[in-house]
Amino acid sequence: MSLSEFGLIKQYFQQQSVSRKDVTKGIGDDCALVNVPANTELAVSTDTLVADVHFYADVDPQSLGHKALAVNLSDLAAMGAIPAWASLAITLPQAEQAWLEKFANGFMGLAEYYDLQLIGGDTTKGPLSITVTIHGHVPQGKSLRRDQAKPGDWLYVSGTLGDAAAGLAVVQQKLALTEPEYFINRLQQPSPRVTVGAALRPIASSCIDISDGLAQDLKHILTSSECGAVLELEQIPVHEQLQHLSFEQQMQFALAGGDDYELLFSVPEEKKALLQSVAQQTGVKLTCIGRLQAGPSTLTLKHHGQPQQLALAGWDHFSS
Ligand code: ADP
Ligand code: MG
């Protein structure tokens, strides 16, 4: 490595504009030291991105830096937690300065936006891989979870679904769109729904972020909460630029495509009306797509009221 490990850490990761009061010791000692506010729970999550598994090794490093943090922020969002600190374990084939600078810019830009401080990490040589551990705060006992949904609750999603899968199809030259940049951006630089998650704390009975596709992630809520669901397929929000595609293709992207990082959540009947102000406050569209029902953790699909079977590629959890 042309740059020493410590030089690299100092130059790219120790320099940051965020300096939180609750961090007693940030990067530079054997451990970071932080203060957890009274009456809050610490929400902690880790996600790893591996080259050629989760992203193409030649992807724009700025986008990669953004995404490595965004996917972790999305996990906090799903619990209604507010971001505070992160650590970054990065394995690199070589210390290429131009690459590192762009990666750090993508990561730090998003960190700054959420007032999140990078408090430590690890730097090693090897095949490109990035692991972020994120910490956030949530008022004691108020987090959103997967296991508290009840039959009769309504199912909602934020934003539009299938955009990232369409973006991947564009990158793979399997799909041509008139304005492909939006979809590539949705794939490479997802927007974690942190403010939506926090606003849903007093409203939603369960919540999960959609990383593996709506169908798969809904199954997690159904299994944890021990109930079933009916999805009204025509209600699923699909971006208008994808609406010329066949119904099957749209559903493939929206139900089985991953990487959207939207929120899927359930809301009791009596709290539905509160969602309007959440959508207004956050500027994020919230759409009702179905309802939970008593019974086994199975998923029923309906299209304009009629039961619908879909053969979705890459989704092996379809038959309950
Ligand atoms: P140690 O050998 O004591 O585990 P390191 O030499 O790995 O510590 O790291 C020195 C300091 O730099 C520590 O505070 C560590 O948390 C931090 N650090 C190492 N790599 C990174 C990174 N990629 N991003 C942020 N901080 C890092
Ligand atoms: Mg040490």
The whole-number pLDDT of residue 9 equals 87
Round to whole Å and give the CA distance between 68 and 51: 12
pLDDT at 320: 37
Question: What distance in Å separates the CA atoms of residue 232 and residue 249, rounded to the nearest whole number?
Answer: 16
314 pLDDT above the threshold of 80: no
What number does the ligand 1 atom closest to the CA of 12 have? 24
pLDDT at 64 over 80: yes
Report the atom number in ligand 1 closest to the C-alpha of 118.
25
Compute the average pLDDT of residues 65-73.
98
* Ligand 1 center from residue 29 Cα (angstroms): 8
Residue with tokens 């700025």: 62
Query: Would you place residue 319 in the very low, low, confident or very high pLDDT band (cuts 50, 70, 90)?
Result: very low
The CA-atom distances, in angstroms, between 164 and each of 19, 116, 251 are 33, 25, 13
Q: What is the mean pLDDT of residues 224-247?
A: 97
Mean pLDDT taken over the chain: 94
The pLDDT value recorded for residue 312 is: 80
Find the residues whose C-beta lies inside 6 A of ligand 1: 9, 13, 27-30, 88, 90, 118, 120-123
Q: How far is it, in rounded angstroms, from Cα 260 to Cα 242?
A: 15
Lowest-confidence region among 49-58, 65-74, 77-86, 162-171? 49-58
User: Which of the four pLDDT bands, split at 50, 70 and 90, describes residue 2?
Assistant: low
**3-class SS of residue 186:** helix
Residue 103 parent element (H or E): helix 97-113
Helix (H, G, I), strand (E, B) or coil at 101: helix
For residues 77 and 169, give the distance between their C-alpha atoms in angstroms, rounded to a whole number: 27
Give CA–CA dist 188/113, Å, rounded.
18
Ligand nearest to the CA of 29: 1
pLDDT number for residue 135: 98
The residue whose CA has the least distance to atom 3 of ligand 1 is 30
Distance from the alpha carbon of residue 123 to the mean position of ligand 2, in angstroms: 12
How close are the terminal C-alpha atoms of the chain, in Å?
A: 50
Ligand nearest to the CA of 15: 1
Pair 30, 122: CB distance under 8 Å? no
* Mean pLDDT, rounded, for 230-251: 97
Q: Which residue's alpha carbon is nearest to atom 1 within ligand 1? A: 30
Q: What is the pLDDT averaged over residues 46-73?
A: 95
> What gap in Å lies between CA 209 and CA 230, rounded to an integer?
19
Average pLDDT over residues 159-176: 96
The CA-based diameter of the chain, rounded to the nearest angstrom, is 63
Quick count: other Cβ atoms within 10 Å of Cβ 100?
A: 20
Taking CA atoms only, the protein residue closest to ligand 1 atom 27 is 121
> Quick one: average pLDDT of 37-47?
97
- How sure is the predictor about 318, in pLDDT bands with cuts at 50, 70 and 90? very low
Q: What is the mean pLDDT of residues 164-193?
A: 96
- Model confidence pLDDT, tens digit, residues 193-219: 999 999 999 999 999 999 999 999 999
C-alpha gyration radius of the chain: 20
DSSP string, 240-291: GGGTTS-HHHHHIIIII-----EEEEEE-GGGGGGHHHHHHHH---EEEEEE
What is the rounded distance in angstroms from the CA atom of residue 245 to the CA atom of residue 250?
6
> Looking at residues 94-118, what average pLDDT do you find?
96
Residue 269 near residue 205, CB atoms below 8 Å: no
